[in-house]
Chains A and B, each alone.
Chain A
Amino acid sequence: MPKKVMIFPVNSLILYDLVSRFGHQPLAMMSKIAEKVRDPEVDSPPINITYEEPRHGLKYCAVEVPSGVRGRMALLGPLIEEAEAAIIVDDPDIEFGCSGCARTNELVIQMLHNKGIPILRLKYPRSSGEARDFVKSIVDFLKSIDGGAS
């Protein structure tokens, strides 16, 4: 059975591609933003988020948490709820992907851990050797979770 795999950084194109290649469904920020941008009912450029989203984010964190975190969580929270597995890359380069907010990152990682789902947590590679090991670890993980294509 293909699994819904949450990726972190939440907008990493490389992780998105790897998860897709092995037959799973990547859960990523891009797809949520694409839904927002295409929504003809809303006119709030650039990504059609209005003051409503930070309020929806209250489901995940209190009003004392900055609005930027709550707005991001309005998009990411439902993805975390759906997730059946997760790949978390620590200390990535900014080009690899980022949500822009370290506090959001902390909350996303904590919520994923609290779910009790299979999680692969690995460091961002800094050499070509590390990069090979990095990809191999991800591939092994994706194969290990039930139903992934070989």
Chain B
Amino acid sequence: MTVKVAQISCGTEYSGVQKEIARAAEKTEMELVFPEVDSSDIKRAMEAIGLSPASSGLKVMLARALVIVEGRADVDGAIVMTCFRCAEGALVRHAIRRFLHEKARIPVISYSFTERTKAENLLLRFEALSNMIKRRFLLARKKHEGLTIGIDSGSTMTKGVAMKDGEILAFHWLPTTEVVVSGLKVYKELLSKASISEGMVEAVGVTGYGRFMLGKELNANLMQEEITVCSKGASFLGKAQEGNATIIDIGGADNKAISIYDGVPYSFTVGGVCAGASGRFLEIAASRLGVDIETFGEIALKGDPRKIAMNAYCIVFGMHDLVTALASGARKEDVAAAACYSVAEQFFEQQFQEVEAKEPVLQIGGTSLIKGLIKAFEDTLKMKIVVPPYSQYCGAVGAAILSSGLLGRS
């Protein structure tokens, strides 16, 4: 099923990325539409949205949004894009996203690109937007019904939950070795822990990097990317299903910042260029200090990060700083705290360049259990961080909720 998506953008053709956008749209079965506007639309759009940008490319963007709101463009969703580091563009992008969300009630994804943006960078976003369009009513679902299993087949861990009528009956995780083997082990363990038979399971949802392989093996009812699924799980567990919220997920190999509204994502960034801002860095740091990751988080709470000069912009140099500090007699507590602050600061500087930090801020994933990291994020963002119950199972819970929506009960 092809969906029609309005491209509302400025600078894509001069940045040389239009071809990449078209390629990503084709791969995700999207037809890109450029709503036609005239000069009178521009004037009316600036009045309606309340912004008067100096750049005419941005004025045309506002007019295109107005044309959609007025029903003069037949589209199912919109992707709003401007150049990375264009402050005026960022203001317009956010204003259009809000305008379309409130007035046209269509799914919107926003993104800021550079000349290095490739179709592959856009695919996850386009897939999420496509799911938001095709599964709009499913994503709007706010409760769980029936007996379902959700599995998050991640790059480092495979996590699963069995849920019945909104309650978690059982949860289980394993390190991911082979995608299907780990997934099936978790699935069987969930059946055992919840004391249920396979025949009692009404639906299975799978998300994460191994979703297609594992989903096929389990004959899953739902195989969906992790952005929309984790958003659903986090907003459900964090009781943030109404209005704005922000999700932080420091994964084993990458990290994500997701802006959501009513439990549905509208903007997100996925970082993974440097492991210095990943859970892996904290794991290695804990190992070097000779403590497990949970203790690492506890002792970090007692440390002073300012006493250690640490550069975790690279996992190698970060570890070098850590070893140097220990060799010069630094306290373990201060080193652990410095490692946590380093991750939080790098995340803040990289991921929050594109994503607005709107409260409540929900931190999810296995690293949300590292207390020192949560404190580091609170100090860095100057905001209270909410860690939902079962925070490490948000993806699995989201998959269980969304698959229950396919049962057709309500």
Q: Which residues of A contact B (CB under 8 A)?
A: 43-47, 49-55, 64-72, 93-95, 98-103
Q: How far is the CA of A94 from the CA of B113 in the complex (A)?
A: 25
Question: Is there a chain A Cβ closer than 8 Å to B324's Cβ?
Answer: no
Known pairs A44-B18, A45-B22. 9 more at Cβ < 8 A?
Answer: A51-B17, A52-B16, A65-B85, A67-B15, A68-B15, A93-B39, A101-B14, A102-B53, A102-B55
Question: Is there a chain A Cβ closer than 8 Å to B54's Cβ?
Answer: yes
Q: Which residue of B lies closest to A106 (CB)?
A: B54
Interface membership of chain B positions 45-81, coded 1 if the CB is closer than 8 angstroms to chain A and 0 otherwise:
0000000011111011000000000000000000000
User: Which listed residue, A54, A99, A103, touches B115 by the CB 8 Å rule?
Assistant: A54
Q: Which residue of A lies closest to B112 (CB)?
A: A66
Q: A94 touching B13 by the CB < 8 A rule?
A: no
Q: A100 touching B85 by the CB < 8 A rule?
A: no
Identify 6 residue pairs between A and B in the complex whose beta-carbon atoms are under 8 Å apart, listed by A's number.
Answer: A66-B11, A67-B83, A68-B14, A68-B86, A93-B39, A94-B42
CB distance from B40 to the nearest CB of A (A): 11
Question: Is there a chain A Cβ closer than 8 Å to B165's Cβ?
Answer: no
User: Which listed residue, B54, B59, B60, B83, touches A68 by the CB 8 Å rule?
Assistant: B83
Q: B16 touching A49 by the CB < 8 A rule?
A: yes
Contact count A vs B, C-beta below 8 Å? 99
Q: How many residues of B contact A (CB 8 A)?
A: 31
Q: B86 touching A44 by the CB < 8 A rule?
A: no
Question: Is there a chain A Cβ closer than 8 Å to B10's Cβ?
Answer: yes
Q: How far is the CA of A127 from the CA of B86 in the complex (A)?
A: 34
User: Which listed residue, A46, A72, A103, touches B18 by the CB 8 Å rule?
Assistant: A46
Q: How far is the CA of A128 from the CA of B53 in the complex (A)?
A: 27
Q: How far is the CA of A71 from the CA of B89 in the complex (A)?
A: 16
Q: A94 touching B84 by the CB < 8 A rule?
A: no
Question: Is there a chain A Cβ closer than 8 Å to B116's Cβ?
Answer: yes
Q: How far is the CA of A52 from the CA of B19 in the complex (A)?
A: 13
Interface membership of chain B positions 111-130, coded 1 if the CB is closer than 8 angstroms to chain A and 0 otherwise:
00111100000000000000
Q: How far is the CA of A99 from the CA of B18 in the complex (A)?
A: 17
Q: How far is the CA of A95 from the CA of B22 in the complex (A)?
A: 28
Chain B contacts for A51, CB-based, 8 A? 15-17, 115-116
| Max count, chain B CB within 10 A of own CB: residue among A64, A98, A101 | A101
Question: Is there a chain A Cβ closer than 8 Å to B167's Cβ?
Answer: no
Chain A contacts for B60, CB-based, 8 A? 100
Chain A contacts for B54, CB-based, 8 A? 102
Q: How far is the CA of A70 from the CA of B84 in the complex (A)?
A: 12
Q: A71 touching B85 by the CB < 8 A rule?
A: no
Question: Is there a chain A Cβ closer than 8 Å to B379's Cβ?
Answer: no
Q: A71 touching B56 by the CB < 8 A rule?
A: no
Q: A100 touching B16 by the CB < 8 A rule?
A: no
Q: B14 touching A53 by the CB < 8 A rule?
A: yes
Q: How far is the CA of A53 from the CA of B10 in the complex (A)?
A: 16
Q: How far is the CA of A97 from the CA of B55 in the complex (A)?
A: 12
CB distance from A58 to the nearest CB of B (A): 10
Chain A contacts for B57, CB-based, 8 A? 68, 98, 100-101
CB distance from A54 to the nearest CB of B (A): 4
| Max count, chain A CB within 10 A of own CB: residue among B53, B56, B85 | B56
Q: How far is the CA of A99 from the CA of B55 in the complex (A)?
A: 8
Q: How far is the CA of A44 from the CA of B115 in the complex (A)?
A: 13
Chain A contacts for B14, CB-based, 8 A? 47, 49, 53-54, 67-68, 71-72, 100-101
Chain B contacts for A44, CB-based, 8 A? 16, 18-19
Q: A71 touching B11 by the CB < 8 A rule?
A: yes
Chain B contacts for A101, CB-based, 8 A? 10-11, 14, 55-57
CB distance from B260 to the nearest CB of A (A): 27
Q: B85 touching A64 by the CB < 8 A rule?
A: yes
Chain B contacts for A65, CB-based, 8 A? 85
Assess A67 versus B114: contact at CB under 8 Å? Given A100-B55, A102-B55.
yes
Q: B13 touching A49 by the CB < 8 A rule?
A: yes
Chain A contacts for B294, CB-based, 8 A? none
Q: How far is the CA of A52 from the CA of B42 in the complex (A)?
A: 32
| Max count, chain A CB within 10 A of own CB: residue among B16, B17, B54, B85 | B16
Chain B contacts for A102, CB-based, 8 A? 53-56, 88
Q: A54 touching B39 by the CB < 8 A rule?
A: no
Interface membership of chain B positions 9-49, coded 1 if the CB is closer than 8 angstroms to chain A and 0 otherwise:
01111111111001000000000000000010010000000
CB distance from B119 to the nearest CB of A (A): 12
Chain B contacts for A68, CB-based, 8 A? 10-12, 14-15, 57, 82-83, 86
Chain B contacts for A54, CB-based, 8 A? 14-16, 114-115
CB distance from A124 to the nearest CB of B (A): 13
Chain A contacts for B113, CB-based, 8 A? 67
User: Which listed residue, B19, B55, B59, B115, touches A67 by the CB 8 Å rule?
Assistant: B115
CB distance from A12 to the nearest CB of B (A): 13
Chain A contacts for B13, CB-based, 8 A? 46-47, 49
| Max count, chain B CB within 10 A of own CB: residue among A46, A95, A100 | A100
Q: How far is the CA of A66 from the CA of B85 in the complex (A)?
A: 6
Q: How far is the CA of A55 from the CA of B53 in the complex (A)?
A: 26
CB distance from A101 to the nearest CB of B (A): 5
Q: Which 6 pairs between the two chains have the least Cβ-Cβ distance?
A: A68-B11, A100-B57, A66-B83, A71-B14, A102-B54, A54-B115
